[in-house]
Amino acid sequence: MPAAHAVSYYAASAHPAPRREPLSGSVSCDVCVIGGGIAGCSAALHLAERGYSVVLLEQHRIGWGASGRSGGQVIHGVACGQTRLERLVGGPASRAIWDISTQALALTRRLIERFHIDCDWVDGYMLTAIKPRHERELHEEIEELRNRLGYHSVRHMSREEVCATLATKRYIGALYDAQSGHLHPLNYTLGLAAAAQSQGVRIYEETRATGFTAAHVSTERGEVRARHLILCGNVYLGSTAPALSSKIMAVGTHIVATEPLGERRARALIANHAAVSDMNWVLDYFRLSADHRLLFGGRVSYSGLGNFDARRATRARMLKVFPQLADVDIEYTWGGFVDITLNRAPHFGRLMPNVYFLQGFSGHGIALTGIAGKLVAEAVAGEAERFDIFTRIPHRDFPGGALARRPLLVLAMLYYRLRDLL
């Protein structure tokens, strides 16, 4: 049975995309990319534009993993935050990473425009405060972004403005960013793959890389001989790259999509059509789709177990924000894994001089994965300065080894969940 995308609203509303044949036999190229998400497709595209011959291998379908199932929020910065990043790498390097993260927003828009990617891009992002502590942190964040980092697209929204924008009484203030936004992530990823293919990239779906050396990738039915290799599979690489697995953890996330609400009712929920997320550790995030549904995520699983009713749990969180939707049906429920690092900072590097990897986006990846692909393409071409800034970020293994690391993470997350209640 041919591989298919996981059942989701995104898969149901995806544009038609060709099925690419699995790899069979032996092929040669300059660069082999493993992983058909945003990072892998971006890397392949930018390498092909530099004149490299590129082969991309995807175990399932293009966009099958986190890139095609996410909340679709395209936002500035990195998941660990600028303050922690500065402690990790110092002021100059953290500032350079910040600048790259804002360039990532511009790159996303530019790729959409240049390759005519129909992915429902919408401007605007709101980070909302639930309690006074959050409101104080928002003011500090805006001060840092505007005055220290020169990022002037952000402003504060008062309780009154937030209440006039969002049909809920849950929030007491917000940061609004006009440069960030949201999109249909699967259609964006499919569009990047089509752009890469138009530049000569050979894409093979339903092809798992089972092992590699510096110049060779083995698959179930074939092989790739390459001068360079880029690993973009994140948690799905598994046994293919065991050296990377100790630095990341798979976290389950879940999203629901309501039935179509109609334009009037949908716009009453989010008048400015922005993407929204709150400031809790276990956060809620939501936005409107192009066909006037509410897409709402708000449940994560650190245990790795799926023995709960994701539809009911996520719907309950949605109704805490929008109780007026009690009469609305949930039409789609889906989930998947994102990779997190212990410090929540992105993890880029090399396993060998010609074997690169990109991982650890920690749920903050739509914009950053796109520019990560561009950075690794630069590095392959001998222009590694920007890529190497990220390799300076220190990363430790998750404690506890293979057996205890997940239970220890669950215990740690209980602390943050309790903190959300204070």
pLDDT of residue 144: 94
The predicted structure's pLDDT at residue 412: 47
Above 70 in pLDDT, residue 304? no
What is the pLDDT averaged over residues 264-272? 98
Mean pLDDT, residues 6-26: 96
- Residue-wise pLDDT for 148-192, tens only, equals 999 999 999 999 999 999 999 999 999 999 999 999 999 999 999
User: Tell me, what's the pLDDT at 307?
Assistant: 55
> Per-residue pLDDT for 418 more than 80?
no
- Mapped to the 3 state alphabet, what secondary structure does the chain carry? CCCCCCCCHHHHCCCCCCCCCCCCEEEEEEEEEECCCHHHHHHHHHHHHCCCCEEEECCCCCCCCHHHCCCCEECCCCCCCHHHHHHHHCHHHHHHHHHHHHHHHHHHHHHHHHCCCCCCCEEEEEEEECCHHHHHHHHHHHHHHHHHCCCCCEEEECHHHHHHHECCCCCCEEEEEEEEEECCHHHHHHHHHHHHHHCCCEEECCCCEEEEECCEEEECCEEEEEEEEEECCHHHCHHHCHHHHCCEEEEEEEEEEECCCCHHHHHHHECCCCEEEECCCCCCEEEECCCCCEEEEEEEECCCCCCCCHHHHHHHHHHHHCHHHCCCCEEEEEEEEEEEECCCCCEEEEEECCEEEEECCCCCCHHHHHHHHHHHHHHHCCCCHHHHHHHCCCCCCCCCHHHHHHHHHHHHHHHHHHHHCC
**204 vs 239 pLDDT, higher one:** 204
Q: Is residue 375 scored above 80 in pLDDT?
A: yes
Mean pLDDT of 209-232: 96
pLDDT for residue 416 = 43
The CATH homologous superfamily to which domain 9-69+186-246+343-402 belongs is FAD/NAD(P)-binding domain (3.50.50.60)
Above 80 in pLDDT, residue 46? yes
What pLDDT does residue 10 have?
A: 98
| Whether residue 261 has pLDDT greater than 80 | yes
Q: What is the mean pLDDT of residues 208-216?
A: 94
pLDDT band at residue 391 using 50, 70 and 90 as cut-offs:
very high
Task: Please give the pLDDT value at position 250.
Answer: 84
In tens, the pLDDT along 88-130 reads 999 999 999 999 999 999 999 999 999 999 999 999 999 999 9
pLDDT at 306 over 60: no
Mean of the per-residue pLDDT values of the chain? 92
Q: What is the pLDDT of residue 213?
A: 94
Give the start-to-end residue ranges of the domains of the chain: 9-69+186-246+343-402
Q: Which residue has the higher pLDDT, 120 or 407?
A: 120
**Does position 407 have pLDDT exceeding 70, yes or no?**
no
pLDDT of 268 higher than 70:
yes
Report pLDDT for 308.
66
* pLDDT at 421 > cutoff 70: no
pTM: 0.93
Query: Which of 65-69, 315-319, 390-394, 412-416 is least confident?
Result: 412-416
